[in-house]
Chains A and B, each alone.
Chain A
Amino acid sequence: MSTPGTRTVLVLLDSAGTELRSPVLELITVGRSLGRVEAVALEAPSVGVLAQLGAYGVALVRQAEPSSGGEVVTGDALHLTPVVAEVLAAATRASHADAVLLTSSFPNKEAAARLAFLTEAGLVVDASALTDGGTHLVADKRVFAGSWDVRSEIVTDPAVLTLRANSVVPQPADAAVATEVDALRVELSPAATAARVVSRTVDESAGAGRPALGEAAIVVAGGRGTNGDFGPVTELADALGAAVGATRDAVYEGWHDQFVGQTGVTVAPRLYIGAGISGAPHHRGGMQASQVIVAVNNDPECPLFEISDFAVVGDLADVLPQAAEVLREHRASQG
Protein backbone atom coordinates (compact mmCIF):
# COMPACT_ATOMS: atom_id res chain seq x y z
CA MET A 1 0.00 0.00 0.00
CA SER A 2 1.11 3.56 -0.55
CA THR A 3 2.52 5.88 2.10
CA PRO A 4 0.20 7.97 4.30
CA GLY A 5 -1.48 10.95 2.67
CA THR A 6 -1.03 9.53 -0.81
CA ARG A 7 -3.80 6.97 -0.84
CA THR A 8 -6.71 7.15 -3.24
CA VAL A 9 -10.06 7.00 -1.48
CA LEU A 10 -13.36 6.37 -3.21
CA VAL A 11 -16.58 7.71 -1.67
CA LEU A 12 -20.08 6.58 -2.67
CA LEU A 13 -22.45 9.56 -2.93
CA ASP A 14 -25.83 8.59 -1.46
CA SER A 15 -27.96 11.31 -3.00
CA ALA A 16 -25.96 12.74 -5.89
CA GLY A 17 -29.07 13.99 -7.68
CA THR A 18 -30.16 16.36 -4.93
CA GLU A 19 -27.83 17.40 -2.11
CA LEU A 20 -25.02 15.71 -0.19
CA ARG A 21 -25.94 15.19 3.43
CA SER A 22 -23.62 15.42 6.39
CA PRO A 23 -22.64 11.71 6.57
CA VAL A 24 -21.28 11.76 2.99
CA LEU A 25 -19.41 15.02 3.66
CA GLU A 26 -17.92 13.28 6.71
CA LEU A 27 -16.66 10.46 4.46
CA ILE A 28 -15.00 12.99 2.16
CA THR A 29 -13.45 14.74 5.17
CA VAL A 30 -12.03 11.45 6.47
CA GLY A 31 -10.92 10.48 2.96
CA ARG A 32 -8.96 13.71 2.54
CA SER A 33 -6.99 12.92 5.72
CA LEU A 34 -5.77 9.76 3.93
CA GLY A 35 -5.07 11.16 0.49
CA ARG A 36 -6.94 12.03 -2.69
CA VAL A 37 -10.72 11.54 -2.81
CA GLU A 38 -12.74 10.50 -5.84
CA ALA A 39 -16.52 10.13 -5.80
CA VAL A 40 -18.92 7.61 -7.33
CA ALA A 41 -22.49 8.58 -8.23
CA LEU A 42 -25.34 6.31 -9.29
CA GLU A 43 -27.16 9.22 -10.93
CA ALA A 44 -26.18 12.51 -12.56
CA PRO A 45 -24.82 14.88 -9.90
CA SER A 46 -26.89 18.04 -9.46
CA VAL A 47 -25.28 21.46 -9.88
CA GLY A 48 -25.48 21.89 -6.10
CA VAL A 49 -23.74 18.56 -5.49
CA LEU A 50 -20.95 19.48 -7.91
CA ALA A 51 -20.46 22.72 -5.97
CA GLN A 52 -20.37 20.79 -2.70
CA LEU A 53 -17.81 18.35 -4.13
CA GLY A 54 -15.69 21.27 -5.37
CA ALA A 55 -15.75 22.92 -1.95
CA TYR A 56 -14.72 19.62 -0.37
CA GLY A 57 -11.79 19.23 -2.76
CA VAL A 58 -13.15 16.38 -4.87
CA ALA A 59 -11.94 16.88 -8.45
CA LEU A 60 -13.48 13.78 -10.02
CA VAL A 61 -16.85 12.09 -9.77
CA ARG A 62 -17.46 8.87 -11.68
CA GLN A 63 -21.06 8.62 -12.80
CA ALA A 64 -22.11 5.01 -13.22
CA GLU A 65 -23.54 3.92 -16.56
CA PRO A 66 -24.21 0.23 -16.00
CA SER A 67 -25.57 -2.08 -18.64
CA SER A 68 -26.67 -5.69 -18.57
CA GLY A 69 -26.61 -7.86 -21.68
CA GLY A 70 -26.22 -4.72 -23.82
CA GLU A 71 -29.24 -3.00 -22.23
CA VAL A 72 -28.62 0.18 -20.23
CA VAL A 73 -29.71 -0.21 -16.61
CA THR A 74 -31.43 2.89 -15.27
CA GLY A 75 -33.92 3.99 -12.65
CA ASP A 76 -34.81 1.92 -9.61
CA ALA A 77 -32.63 -1.02 -10.67
CA LEU A 78 -29.55 1.15 -10.05
CA HIS A 79 -30.24 0.76 -6.34
CA LEU A 80 -30.15 -3.06 -6.34
CA THR A 81 -27.40 -4.04 -3.92
CA PRO A 82 -25.44 -6.26 -6.34
CA VAL A 83 -25.58 -3.47 -8.96
CA VAL A 84 -24.15 -0.94 -6.49
CA ALA A 85 -21.43 -3.42 -5.54
CA GLU A 86 -20.42 -4.13 -9.16
CA VAL A 87 -20.38 -0.40 -9.96
CA LEU A 88 -18.12 0.24 -6.98
CA ALA A 89 -15.86 -2.65 -7.95
CA ALA A 90 -15.45 -1.13 -11.44
CA ALA A 91 -14.77 2.30 -9.93
CA THR A 92 -12.23 0.77 -7.53
CA ARG A 93 -10.35 -0.66 -10.51
CA ALA A 94 -10.61 2.55 -12.54
CA SER A 95 -9.35 4.71 -9.66
CA HIS A 96 -6.82 2.18 -8.32
CA ALA A 97 -8.50 2.98 -5.00
CA ASP A 98 -6.86 1.97 -1.73
CA ALA A 99 -10.03 2.43 0.25
CA VAL A 100 -13.75 2.67 -0.48
CA LEU A 101 -16.01 4.48 2.00
CA LEU A 102 -19.80 4.29 2.31
CA THR A 103 -22.24 5.65 4.86
CA SER A 104 -23.57 3.05 7.30
CA SER A 105 -27.12 2.39 6.11
CA PHE A 106 -28.36 -1.22 5.91
CA PRO A 107 -28.30 -1.26 2.08
CA ASN A 108 -24.84 0.31 2.02
CA LYS A 109 -23.47 -2.25 4.48
CA GLU A 110 -24.67 -5.01 2.16
CA ALA A 111 -23.24 -3.26 -0.91
CA ALA A 112 -19.93 -2.83 0.94
CA ALA A 113 -19.89 -6.54 1.80
CA ARG A 114 -20.55 -7.57 -1.78
CA LEU A 115 -17.91 -5.12 -3.01
CA ALA A 116 -15.41 -6.65 -0.57
CA PHE A 117 -16.47 -10.09 -1.80
CA LEU A 118 -15.80 -9.07 -5.43
CA THR A 119 -12.49 -7.32 -4.77
CA GLU A 120 -11.24 -9.62 -1.97
CA ALA A 121 -11.01 -6.58 0.25
CA GLY A 122 -11.10 -6.48 4.03
CA LEU A 123 -14.32 -5.05 5.41
CA VAL A 124 -15.26 -3.09 8.50
CA VAL A 125 -18.89 -2.01 8.85
CA ASP A 126 -20.17 0.65 11.26
CA ALA A 127 -16.71 2.08 11.94
CA SER A 128 -16.62 5.09 14.25
CA ALA A 129 -13.18 6.28 13.14
CA LEU A 130 -10.65 5.61 10.39
CA THR A 131 -6.98 6.56 10.50
CA ASP A 132 -3.83 5.71 8.63
CA GLY A 133 -1.64 3.31 10.58
CA GLY A 134 1.26 3.75 8.15
CA THR A 135 1.27 0.29 6.62
CA HIS A 136 -2.46 -0.34 6.95
CA LEU A 137 -5.64 1.57 7.61
CA VAL A 138 -6.92 1.30 11.16
CA ALA A 139 -10.62 1.38 12.02
CA ASP A 140 -12.34 1.79 15.38
CA LYS A 141 -15.72 0.36 16.12
CA ARG A 142 -18.00 0.24 19.16
CA VAL A 143 -19.59 -3.12 19.87
CA PHE A 144 -21.79 -4.90 22.40
CA ALA A 145 -24.16 -1.98 22.83
CA GLY A 146 -21.31 0.51 23.07
CA SER A 147 -19.61 -1.30 25.95
CA TRP A 148 -16.42 -2.27 24.07
CA ASP A 149 -14.15 -0.51 21.58
CA VAL A 150 -12.52 -2.66 18.92
CA ARG A 151 -9.60 -1.43 16.84
CA SER A 152 -8.84 -3.38 13.65
CA GLU A 153 -6.29 -2.95 10.92
CA ILE A 154 -7.33 -3.85 7.43
CA VAL A 155 -4.52 -5.83 5.92
CA THR A 156 -5.82 -5.91 2.36
CA ASP A 157 -5.68 -3.43 -0.46
CA PRO A 158 -8.28 -2.19 -1.08
CA ALA A 159 -10.05 -1.71 2.23
CA VAL A 160 -13.84 -1.29 2.32
CA LEU A 161 -15.54 0.52 5.18
CA THR A 162 -18.88 1.91 6.17
CA LEU A 163 -18.55 4.82 8.56
CA ARG A 164 -21.15 5.78 11.14
CA ALA A 165 -22.65 9.28 11.01
CA ASN A 166 -21.18 11.83 13.46
CA SER A 167 -17.73 10.25 13.26
CA VAL A 168 -16.12 13.57 12.38
CA VAL A 169 -17.21 17.16 11.76
CA PRO A 170 -17.48 17.75 7.99
CA GLN A 171 -14.79 20.18 6.89
CA PRO A 172 -14.51 21.76 3.43
CA ALA A 173 -11.07 21.69 1.80
CA ASP A 174 -8.63 24.59 2.29
CA ALA A 175 -8.96 25.37 -1.41
CA ALA A 176 -11.97 24.57 -3.60
CA VAL A 177 -11.43 22.71 -6.88
CA ALA A 178 -13.38 22.35 -10.12
CA THR A 179 -15.16 18.99 -10.22
CA GLU A 180 -15.28 16.92 -13.40
CA VAL A 181 -17.79 14.20 -14.17
CA ASP A 182 -16.52 11.07 -15.89
CA ALA A 183 -18.80 8.35 -17.22
CA LEU A 184 -18.09 4.94 -15.69
CA ARG A 185 -19.30 2.19 -18.01
CA VAL A 186 -19.93 -1.09 -16.25
CA GLU A 187 -21.11 -4.37 -17.78
CA LEU A 188 -23.04 -6.09 -15.01
CA SER A 189 -23.10 -9.81 -14.35
CA PRO A 190 -26.45 -11.49 -15.10
CA ALA A 191 -26.84 -12.19 -11.36
CA ALA A 192 -26.68 -8.48 -10.51
CA THR A 193 -30.22 -7.95 -11.78
CA ALA A 194 -31.61 -11.34 -10.78
CA ALA A 195 -34.00 -9.60 -8.38
CA ARG A 196 -36.43 -7.11 -9.89
CA VAL A 197 -37.55 -3.83 -8.30
CA VAL A 198 -41.35 -3.91 -8.47
CA SER A 199 -41.64 -0.48 -6.89
CA ARG A 200 -39.51 2.04 -5.02
CA THR A 201 -40.95 5.00 -3.17
CA VAL A 202 -38.87 7.64 -1.43
CA ASP A 203 -40.68 9.36 1.42
CA GLU A 204 -39.51 12.94 0.90
CA SER A 205 -41.50 14.18 3.89
CA ALA A 206 -39.75 11.87 6.38
CA GLY A 207 -38.74 14.03 9.31
CA ALA A 208 -39.58 17.21 7.41
CA GLY A 209 -37.81 20.20 8.90
CA ARG A 210 -35.79 18.06 11.32
CA PRO A 211 -32.42 16.39 10.85
CA ALA A 212 -32.48 12.69 9.96
CA LEU A 213 -32.43 10.43 13.03
CA GLY A 214 -29.36 8.42 12.05
CA GLU A 215 -27.19 11.47 11.41
CA ALA A 216 -28.40 14.11 13.89
CA ALA A 217 -25.98 15.64 16.40
CA ILE A 218 -28.78 15.76 18.98
CA VAL A 219 -31.57 13.18 19.39
CA VAL A 220 -34.62 13.43 21.64
CA ALA A 221 -36.47 10.11 22.00
CA GLY A 222 -39.73 9.15 23.65
CA GLY A 223 -40.95 5.82 25.02
CA ARG A 224 -43.88 4.25 26.75
CA GLY A 225 -43.84 7.02 29.38
CA THR A 226 -45.15 9.49 26.79
CA ASN A 227 -48.44 7.56 26.82
CA GLY A 228 -48.67 8.32 23.14
CA ASP A 229 -48.25 12.08 23.37
CA PHE A 230 -45.04 13.00 21.53
CA GLY A 231 -45.84 16.73 21.82
CA PRO A 232 -43.36 17.41 24.67
CA VAL A 233 -40.69 15.30 22.90
CA THR A 234 -41.00 17.17 19.59
CA GLU A 235 -41.19 20.54 21.39
CA LEU A 236 -37.84 19.92 23.10
CA ALA A 237 -36.36 18.50 19.87
CA ASP A 238 -37.34 21.62 17.97
CA ALA A 239 -35.89 23.88 20.68
CA LEU A 240 -32.59 22.03 20.24
CA GLY A 241 -32.70 21.51 16.45
CA ALA A 242 -32.72 17.79 17.21
CA ALA A 243 -34.06 14.66 15.51
CA VAL A 244 -36.96 12.79 17.10
CA GLY A 245 -36.77 9.08 17.87
CA ALA A 246 -38.76 6.54 19.80
CA THR A 247 -38.51 3.11 21.39
CA ARG A 248 -39.62 0.02 19.49
CA ASP A 249 -42.72 -0.26 21.70
CA ALA A 250 -43.71 3.33 20.96
CA VAL A 251 -43.40 2.70 17.21
CA TYR A 252 -45.43 -0.51 17.47
CA GLU A 253 -48.10 1.53 19.26
CA GLY A 254 -48.10 3.87 16.26
CA TRP A 255 -46.93 6.90 18.26
CA HIS A 256 -43.93 7.64 16.05
CA ASP A 257 -42.42 6.26 12.84
CA GLN A 258 -38.76 5.52 13.61
CA PHE A 259 -37.24 3.69 16.54
CA VAL A 260 -33.81 3.75 18.05
CA GLY A 261 -32.54 0.26 18.86
CA GLN A 262 -30.46 -2.69 17.84
CA THR A 263 -32.75 -3.54 14.95
CA GLY A 264 -33.85 0.00 14.20
CA VAL A 265 -31.76 3.11 13.81
CA THR A 266 -28.49 3.06 15.72
CA VAL A 267 -27.54 6.54 16.88
CA ALA A 268 -24.37 7.94 18.40
CA PRO A 269 -25.09 11.66 18.67
CA ARG A 270 -23.29 14.28 20.72
CA LEU A 271 -26.38 14.49 22.96
CA TYR A 272 -29.15 11.94 23.47
CA ILE A 273 -32.19 12.75 25.61
CA GLY A 274 -34.52 9.85 26.47
CA ALA A 275 -37.92 10.72 27.92
CA GLY A 276 -40.26 8.14 29.40
CA ILE A 277 -37.83 5.40 28.33
CA SER A 278 -36.96 2.65 30.79
CA GLY A 279 -33.81 1.60 28.89
CA ALA A 280 -34.44 -1.99 27.75
CA PRO A 281 -31.36 -3.74 26.26
CA HIS A 282 -32.81 -3.43 22.74
CA HIS A 283 -33.03 0.35 23.03
CA ARG A 284 -29.70 0.72 24.85
CA GLY A 285 -28.02 -1.19 22.05
CA GLY A 286 -29.08 1.54 19.66
CA MET A 287 -28.00 4.58 21.69
CA GLN A 288 -25.43 3.60 24.29
CA ALA A 289 -22.56 4.95 22.21
CA SER A 290 -23.98 8.50 22.49
CA GLN A 291 -21.51 10.99 23.95
CA VAL A 292 -23.79 12.59 26.55
CA ILE A 293 -26.91 10.79 27.75
CA VAL A 294 -29.74 12.58 29.54
CA ALA A 295 -32.83 10.79 30.89
CA VAL A 296 -36.19 12.05 32.12
CA ASN A 297 -38.43 9.56 33.88
CA ASN A 298 -40.88 9.59 36.77
CA ASP A 299 -39.46 6.28 38.01
CA PRO A 300 -36.33 6.93 40.11
CA GLU A 301 -35.30 3.28 39.54
CA CYS A 302 -35.37 3.69 35.73
CA PRO A 303 -32.44 1.60 34.31
CA LEU A 304 -31.62 4.28 31.74
CA PHE A 305 -30.40 6.43 34.66
CA GLU A 306 -27.56 3.91 35.14
CA ILE A 307 -25.95 4.96 31.87
CA SER A 308 -26.96 8.62 32.01
CA ASP A 309 -24.78 11.65 32.62
CA PHE A 310 -27.72 13.73 33.79
CA ALA A 311 -31.20 12.68 34.80
CA VAL A 312 -34.40 14.27 35.99
CA VAL A 313 -36.91 12.33 38.08
CA GLY A 314 -40.17 13.90 37.08
CA ASP A 315 -43.11 13.97 34.70
CA LEU A 316 -41.84 14.46 31.15
CA ALA A 317 -44.98 16.43 30.30
CA ASP A 318 -43.79 19.09 32.79
CA VAL A 319 -40.03 18.80 32.48
CA LEU A 320 -39.64 18.80 28.68
CA PRO A 321 -41.76 21.88 27.87
CA GLN A 322 -40.06 23.81 30.68
CA ALA A 323 -36.61 22.85 29.38
CA ALA A 324 -37.68 23.81 25.84
CA GLU A 325 -38.90 27.20 27.09
CA VAL A 326 -35.60 27.94 28.88
CA LEU A 327 -33.63 26.82 25.82
CA ARG A 328 -35.66 29.04 23.50
CA GLU A 329 -35.04 32.01 25.82
CA HIS A 330 -31.35 31.13 25.89
CA ARG A 331 -31.22 30.95 22.12
CA ALA A 332 -33.05 34.28 21.76
CA SER A 333 -30.64 35.93 24.21
CA GLN A 334 -27.70 34.68 22.12
CA GLY A 335 -29.17 36.46 19.08
Chain B
Amino acid sequence: MRIVVAVKYVPDIHADRGFEGGRVVRRADEGTLNELDENAVEAALRLKEALPEAERETSEVIVLTVAGPDADGAVRRSYQLGADRGVRVSDDAVAGSDYFGTARVLAAAVRRLADEAPVDLVVTGMAALDGLGSVVPALLAAELDLPQLTLAGKLEVEGEPGARTARVTRELDGVEEVLEAPLPAVVSVTDHANDPRMPNFKLIMAGARSRVLDASPRPPRPDAEIVVDKGEGGRALAEYLIRNDLV
Protein backbone atom coordinates (compact mmCIF):
# COMPACT_ATOMS: atom_id res chain seq x y z
CA MET B 1 0.00 0.00 0.00
CA ARG B 2 1.28 3.48 -0.83
CA ILE B 3 -0.05 6.27 1.32
CA VAL B 4 0.70 9.93 0.68
CA VAL B 5 0.34 12.23 3.68
CA ALA B 6 0.08 15.93 2.87
CA VAL B 7 1.55 18.06 5.65
CA LYS B 8 2.18 21.73 6.28
CA TYR B 9 4.84 23.66 8.10
CA VAL B 10 3.07 26.38 10.09
CA PRO B 11 4.05 29.18 12.48
CA ASP B 12 4.06 27.84 16.03
CA ILE B 13 0.80 28.83 17.73
CA HIS B 14 2.86 29.93 20.74
CA ALA B 15 4.94 32.30 18.57
CA ASP B 16 3.96 35.86 17.73
CA ARG B 17 2.04 35.30 14.50
CA GLY B 18 1.28 38.03 12.01
CA PHE B 19 1.34 39.40 8.47
CA GLU B 20 3.83 41.31 6.36
CA GLY B 21 2.92 42.66 2.95
CA GLY B 22 -0.36 40.75 2.96
CA ARG B 23 1.31 37.41 3.62
CA VAL B 24 1.75 35.34 6.74
CA VAL B 25 5.17 35.81 8.32
CA ARG B 26 6.95 32.45 8.13
CA ARG B 27 10.30 31.91 9.82
CA ALA B 28 12.13 28.61 9.91
CA ASP B 29 12.93 28.90 13.62
CA GLU B 30 9.39 29.75 14.65
CA GLY B 31 7.66 27.02 12.73
CA THR B 32 6.55 23.50 13.38
CA LEU B 33 4.86 20.58 11.69
CA ASN B 34 1.15 21.45 11.89
CA GLU B 35 0.09 19.58 15.01
CA LEU B 36 -3.04 18.20 13.33
CA ASP B 37 -0.88 16.62 10.61
CA GLU B 38 0.63 14.33 13.23
CA ASN B 39 -2.77 12.62 13.37
CA ALA B 40 -2.57 12.12 9.60
CA VAL B 41 0.94 10.67 9.76
CA GLU B 42 -0.17 8.43 12.65
CA ALA B 43 -3.22 7.21 10.72
CA ALA B 44 -1.04 6.33 7.72
CA LEU B 45 1.57 4.54 9.85
CA ARG B 46 -1.10 2.48 11.61
CA LEU B 47 -2.62 1.39 8.30
CA LYS B 48 0.81 0.29 7.09
CA GLU B 49 1.66 -1.46 10.36
CA ALA B 50 -1.60 -3.43 10.25
CA LEU B 51 -0.71 -5.01 6.90
CA PRO B 52 0.58 -8.60 6.58
CA GLU B 53 4.39 -8.60 6.76
CA ALA B 54 5.03 -9.30 3.06
CA GLU B 55 2.87 -6.40 1.94
CA ARG B 56 4.11 -4.14 4.71
CA GLU B 57 7.67 -4.44 3.48
CA THR B 58 6.74 -3.12 0.06
CA SER B 59 4.47 -0.42 1.46
CA GLU B 60 5.38 3.21 1.82
CA VAL B 61 4.25 6.23 3.78
CA ILE B 62 5.27 9.31 1.79
CA VAL B 63 5.07 12.73 3.36
CA LEU B 64 4.36 15.54 0.90
CA THR B 65 4.57 19.26 1.47
CA VAL B 66 4.45 22.38 -0.69
CA ALA B 67 6.77 24.98 0.77
CA GLY B 68 10.23 26.51 0.74
CA PRO B 69 13.26 24.98 2.44
CA ASP B 70 11.98 26.36 5.79
CA ALA B 71 9.53 23.47 5.81
CA ASP B 72 12.18 20.79 6.03
CA GLY B 73 11.52 20.81 9.76
CA ALA B 74 8.05 19.43 9.09
CA VAL B 75 9.40 16.70 6.82
CA ARG B 76 12.12 15.86 9.36
CA ARG B 77 9.54 15.56 12.12
CA SER B 78 7.53 13.18 9.91
CA TYR B 79 10.65 11.01 9.42
CA GLN B 80 11.11 10.94 13.18
CA LEU B 81 7.57 9.65 13.52
CA GLY B 82 8.29 6.88 11.03
CA ALA B 83 7.50 8.11 7.51
CA ASP B 84 9.49 6.32 4.79
CA ARG B 85 9.98 9.18 2.40
CA GLY B 86 9.54 12.94 2.20
CA VAL B 87 8.78 15.08 -0.82
CA ARG B 88 8.93 18.85 -0.74
CA VAL B 89 7.62 20.77 -3.75
CA SER B 90 9.24 24.19 -3.94
CA ASP B 91 8.74 26.88 -6.53
CA ASP B 92 8.77 30.62 -6.03
CA ALA B 93 5.84 30.77 -8.42
CA VAL B 94 3.59 29.01 -5.89
CA ALA B 95 4.77 30.95 -2.83
CA GLY B 96 1.80 32.55 -1.10
CA SER B 97 -0.67 30.43 -3.07
CA ASP B 98 -4.26 30.20 -1.85
CA TYR B 99 -6.35 27.10 -1.07
CA PHE B 100 -6.90 26.38 -4.75
CA GLY B 101 -3.28 26.82 -5.79
CA THR B 102 -2.08 24.67 -2.93
CA ALA B 103 -4.56 21.91 -3.76
CA ARG B 104 -3.57 22.02 -7.44
CA VAL B 105 0.15 21.69 -6.69
CA LEU B 106 -0.44 18.91 -4.14
CA ALA B 107 -2.59 17.09 -6.70
CA ALA B 108 0.10 17.40 -9.37
CA ALA B 109 2.66 15.95 -6.95
CA VAL B 110 0.34 13.06 -6.03
CA ARG B 111 -0.17 12.29 -9.73
CA ARG B 112 3.60 12.34 -10.26
CA LEU B 113 4.03 9.87 -7.37
CA ALA B 114 1.23 7.74 -8.83
CA ASP B 115 3.17 7.57 -12.11
CA GLU B 116 5.94 5.69 -10.24
CA ALA B 117 3.51 3.25 -8.64
CA PRO B 118 -0.18 3.42 -7.71
CA VAL B 119 -1.11 5.60 -4.73
CA ASP B 120 -3.85 3.96 -2.64
CA LEU B 121 -4.68 6.69 -0.20
CA VAL B 122 -4.04 10.40 0.40
CA VAL B 123 -4.33 11.35 4.06
CA THR B 124 -4.34 14.86 5.54
CA GLY B 125 -5.02 16.51 8.86
CA MET B 126 -8.36 18.25 9.39
CA ALA B 127 -6.95 21.78 9.14
CA ALA B 128 -3.71 23.71 9.27
CA LEU B 129 -3.48 25.69 12.47
CA ASP B 130 -2.37 28.87 10.67
CA GLY B 131 -5.16 29.34 8.13
CA LEU B 132 -7.74 27.02 9.73
CA GLY B 133 -9.61 26.87 6.44
CA SER B 134 -10.20 23.10 6.50
CA VAL B 135 -10.94 23.11 2.79
CA VAL B 136 -7.75 21.87 1.11
CA PRO B 137 -8.57 18.15 1.63
CA ALA B 138 -11.92 18.57 -0.19
CA LEU B 139 -10.23 20.57 -2.96
CA LEU B 140 -7.51 17.96 -3.27
CA ALA B 141 -10.20 15.30 -3.77
CA ALA B 142 -11.85 17.52 -6.39
CA GLU B 143 -8.52 18.09 -8.19
CA LEU B 144 -7.71 14.37 -8.21
CA ASP B 145 -11.31 13.42 -9.00
CA LEU B 146 -11.22 10.95 -6.10
CA PRO B 147 -13.87 10.25 -3.46
CA GLN B 148 -13.56 12.49 -0.40
CA LEU B 149 -13.87 11.01 3.09
CA THR B 150 -13.09 14.01 5.25
CA LEU B 151 -13.05 14.95 8.92
CA ALA B 152 -12.86 11.33 10.01
CA GLY B 153 -12.93 10.57 13.71
CA LYS B 154 -12.30 6.95 12.82
CA LEU B 155 -10.73 5.39 9.72
CA GLU B 156 -10.83 1.73 8.69
CA VAL B 157 -9.53 0.15 5.51
CA GLU B 158 -10.82 -3.27 4.51
CA GLY B 159 -10.41 -5.72 1.65
CA GLU B 160 -7.65 -7.27 -0.43
CA PRO B 161 -4.93 -5.33 -2.27
CA GLY B 162 -6.36 -3.75 -5.41
CA ALA B 163 -9.96 -3.91 -4.13
CA ARG B 164 -9.88 -2.04 -0.86
CA THR B 165 -12.53 0.13 0.73
CA ALA B 166 -12.09 2.94 3.22
CA ARG B 167 -14.78 3.59 5.78
CA VAL B 168 -14.85 6.67 8.00
CA THR B 169 -17.02 7.64 10.92
CA ARG B 170 -17.46 11.30 11.65
CA GLU B 171 -19.50 13.39 14.02
CA LEU B 172 -20.12 16.99 13.06
CA ASP B 173 -22.63 19.40 14.56
CA GLY B 174 -24.76 16.65 16.09
CA VAL B 175 -24.82 14.54 12.91
CA GLU B 176 -23.08 11.18 12.96
CA GLU B 177 -22.19 9.81 9.54
CA VAL B 178 -20.50 6.68 8.27
CA LEU B 179 -19.12 7.11 4.75
CA GLU B 180 -17.48 4.53 2.54
CA ALA B 181 -15.58 4.64 -0.75
CA PRO B 182 -13.35 2.40 -2.82
CA LEU B 183 -9.63 3.27 -2.84
CA PRO B 184 -7.93 5.36 -4.01
CA ALA B 185 -9.53 8.13 -1.96
CA VAL B 186 -8.68 11.31 -0.07
CA VAL B 187 -9.17 11.11 3.70
CA SER B 188 -8.75 13.81 6.33
CA VAL B 189 -8.60 12.80 9.98
CA THR B 190 -9.46 14.86 13.06
CA ASP B 191 -7.52 14.98 16.30
CA HIS B 192 -10.00 12.43 17.68
CA ALA B 193 -8.83 9.78 15.21
CA ASN B 194 -5.76 8.68 17.15
CA ASP B 195 -3.05 9.67 19.64
CA PRO B 196 0.07 10.41 17.60
CA ARG B 197 3.21 8.62 18.75
CA MET B 198 6.26 10.41 20.09
CA PRO B 199 9.20 10.83 17.70
CA ASN B 200 11.49 7.83 17.72
CA PHE B 201 14.90 8.62 19.27
CA LYS B 202 16.77 6.37 16.85
CA LEU B 203 15.07 8.03 13.91
CA ILE B 204 15.97 11.43 15.31
CA MET B 205 19.65 10.44 15.48
CA ALA B 206 19.54 8.98 11.96
CA GLY B 207 17.62 11.55 10.36
CA ALA B 208 -4.81 34.75 -6.10
CA ARG B 209 -8.22 34.64 -6.38
CA SER B 210 -8.81 36.93 -3.48
CA ARG B 211 -6.22 39.41 -2.41
CA VAL B 212 -5.49 40.78 0.99
CA LEU B 213 -6.32 44.47 1.12
CA ASP B 214 -5.50 45.09 4.70
CA ALA B 215 -4.33 43.06 7.66
CA SER B 216 -3.93 44.76 10.98
CA PRO B 217 -3.33 43.49 14.50
CA ARG B 218 -6.31 44.09 16.77
CA PRO B 219 -5.68 46.39 19.70
CA PRO B 220 -4.98 44.45 22.88
CA ARG B 221 -7.93 44.14 25.24
CA PRO B 222 -7.75 46.51 28.21
CA ASP B 223 -6.74 44.81 31.46
CA ALA B 224 -9.52 42.87 33.12
CA GLU B 225 -11.40 44.13 36.12
CA ILE B 226 -10.48 41.41 38.63
CA VAL B 227 -12.57 40.67 41.70
CA VAL B 228 -11.36 38.31 44.43
CA ASP B 229 -14.25 36.26 45.80
CA LYS B 230 -14.78 36.84 49.49
CA GLY B 231 -18.33 35.55 49.45
CA GLU B 232 -19.78 38.08 47.01
CA GLY B 233 -17.86 37.15 43.82
CA GLY B 234 -20.90 35.70 42.10
CA ARG B 235 -22.94 38.80 42.87
CA ALA B 236 -20.14 40.99 41.50
CA LEU B 237 -20.12 38.89 38.32
CA ALA B 238 -23.89 39.16 37.89
CA GLU B 239 -23.81 42.91 38.52
CA TYR B 240 -21.03 43.34 35.94
CA LEU B 241 -23.21 41.58 33.35
CA ILE B 242 -26.30 43.62 34.26
CA ARG B 243 -24.33 46.91 34.30
CA ASN B 244 -22.96 46.19 30.83
CA ASP B 245 -26.30 45.14 29.41
CA LEU B 246 -25.10 41.58 28.74
CA VAL B 247 -28.06 39.64 30.11
Contact = CB atoms under 8 A, between A and B. Distances in A.
B181 A322 contact: no
A222 B240 CA distance: 20
Contacts of B180: 195-196, 198
Given A110-B134, A112-B135, A285-B13, A330 B242 contact: yes
B227 A312 contact: yes
B52 interface: no
Interface stretch (B60-68, B74-82, B147-155): B147-155
A113 interface: yes
A225 interface: no
Interface string B227-247: 111011111111111101011
B17 interface: yes
Interface stretch (B41-49, B115-123, B124-132): B124-132
Given A110-B138, A314-B229, A330-B247, A197 B177 contact: yes
B172 A323 contact: no
A319 B138 contact: no
Interface in B190-236: 190-191, 209-218, 221-222, 224-229, 231-236
Given A313-B227, A318-B229, A319-B229, A117 B178 contact: no
A281 B14 contact: yes
A114 interface: yes
Contacts of B138: 81, 110, 113-114
A198 B169 CA distance: 10
Interface string A138-167: 110011111111111111100000000000
Interface residues of A, number: 93
Contacts of A216: none
A327 B239 CA distance: 8
Given A107-B172, A147-B17, A312-B236, A191 B145 contact: yes
Contacts of B222: 309
Given A126-B132, A201-B176, A151 B227 contact: no
Contacts of B141: 82
A250 B147 CA distance: 34
A81 B100 contact: no
A148 B247 contact: no
A181 B19 CA distance: 46
Contacts of A296: 233, 237
A203 B176 CA distance: 8
Nearest to B36: A263
A125 B131 CA distance: 10
A323 B234 contact: yes
Given A148-B216, A262-B132, A313 B226 contact: yes
Q: Determine chain B's interface SS by DSSP, over half rule.
A: mixed
Contacts of B239: 326
B41 to A, nearest CB: 16
B234 A114 contact: no
Contacts of A125: 133-135
B213 A152 contact: yes
Interface in A159-206: 191, 194-203, 206
A23 B215 CA distance: 26
Interface in A98-144: 105-107, 109-110, 112-114, 116-118, 120-126, 138-139, 142-144
Nearest to A117: B142
B139 interface: yes
A286 to B, nearest CB: 10
A293 B13 CA distance: 21
B246 A307 contact: no
Contact of A148 (B19, B142, B151, B210): B19
B1 interface: no
B182 to A, nearest CB: 8
A147 B222 CA distance: 14
Contacts of A79: 177
B175 interface: yes
Given A106-B134, A107-B172, A300-B228, A312 B237 contact: yes
B227 A144 contact: no
A308 interface: yes
A109 B172 CA distance: 12
B175 A201 contact: yes
Contacts of A44: none
Given A292-B246, A327-B241, A156 B209 contact: yes
B40 interface: no
Contacts of A118: 142
A112 B142 CA distance: 12
A315 B229 CA distance: 8
The 5 nearest A-B residue pairs measured at CB: A314-B229, A322-B234, A326-B238, A113-B135, A206-B174
19 contacts: A110-B134, A110-B150, A114-B139, A123-B100, A125-B135, A148-B216, A148-B217, A155-B209, A195-B147, A195-B185, A201-B177, A202-B174, A212-B173, A271-B246, A294-B241, A296-B233, A300-B226, A308-B224, A310-B240
